[in-house]
Amino acid sequence: MLYLIALSVFASVMLLAVALSHRFLLGRSTVARRLESFFPEKSETITRPGESGAWADKLSRLGAQVKLPEKEQSKYVRMLVAAGCRRDAVYPFFGSKVLLACALPLLYLLLLAGPANAYFSSRAILPMAACAIVGYLAPSYWLLKRMKKRQEAIFHTLPDILDLVTICVEAGLSMDAALVRATEIPQFSEDPLALELKVATMEVRAGKRRIDALKDLAERTMVDDVRLFVTMLAQTERFGTSLSQSLRSFADELRTKRRQIAEEAAAKTTIKIIFPLILFIFPALLVVILGPALIQINKVLK
């Protein structure tokens, strides 16, 4: 009975809060409605697939209320761009952090603390605080994992694209044309590095200097090897050295680095496999090997 009363009170408070915040979140002023009447919306709208406009707008409004230092906010913007998201996705990202930080404690309160009638006891406050912390940090963890996965994909693709660029340069194409040609290969149609190079080539066509466009690419990806590649191109143009030879040498160095990373990961497997061997494989082997011997010893002793 007490649980039903608490649930009804919670539902009433939530409905009241939604009714009061409806004007601030969804309501529009009279001036805005009159201005919209002068500019009717087109019948055909272009929307990005897989994105809910209503939820994204609500999360953006909720995230806009989060006031962080400019340095901290710029760090999240850079991480989002490095993960393949747009810059304006920072406000939905903040909104998701706030939403999860509020939703997880409420779920714990309703599902676990409610049946035990321990709403505001010390036994329930600590798990609720832990749920709030986990909900606030979960989007950051997801963003970090996605950024590292994309950076790893860029690192592994960079030597192959540089080989194509080297072949195009040796065939007589310019550096800009070689970059465009390398990104048109069907093998790299959905590759993150190819997509970033396409953005850089479009910026060059719009009038930006190639080195500046590539520097912006390196800042967007936040990959050290891409920064080294841009620095190598800048030094090649400054000192007038052979472009194809520099690209080939840099690609060979990246391929050697990639092979060393693979060898290091393979060497670590001998240490990582010890714990599964001790916990799962060795006990089974002992049972299989010593089991029949123990049975025979038991029969002899009887």
Which CATH number belongs to the domain containing residue 187 in this structure?
1.20.81
Contacts with 99 (C-beta within 8 Å, 6 or more apart), sequence order: 59, 62, 135
Q: Is residue 203 part of a domain?
A: yes
Block residue for tokens 């940090």:
137
Q: Is residue 26 part of a domain?
A: no
Q: Is residue 241 part of a domain?
A: yes
Q: Is residue 206 part of a domain?
A: yes
Q: Is residue 184 part of a domain?
A: yes
Expressed as residue numbers, the domain containing 219 is: 151-266
Contacts with 227 (C-beta within 8 Å, 6 or more apart), sequence order: 218
Find the angle CA(13)-CA(17)-CA(23) to the nearest 5 degrees: 160
Q: Considering the entire predicted model, what is its pTM? A: 0.70
Q: Is residue 107 part of a domain?
A: no
How many structural domains comprise the chain? Answer: 1
Each of the 302 residues of the chain gets a pLDDT tens digit; together they read 555 555 565 566 566 665 555 554 445 555 555 555 545 454 434 344 444 457 778 778 888 888 888 888 899 999 999 998 888 888 888 888 888 888 888 888 777 766 666 666 667 778 888 888 999 999 999 999 999 999 999 999 999 999 999 999 998 888 889 988 988 888 888 889 999 999 999 999 998 998 999 999 999 999 999 999 999 999 988 888 888 889 999 999 999 998 999 899 888 888 888 888 888 888 888 888 888 888 888 888 87
Q: Is residue 95 part of a domain?
A: no
Q: Three-state SS for 17?
A: helix
Query: What backbone torsions phi and psi does residue 161 show, to the nearest 5 degrees?
Result: -65, -35
Residue 178 tokens read as 């070689």
Q: Is residue 129 part of a domain?
A: no
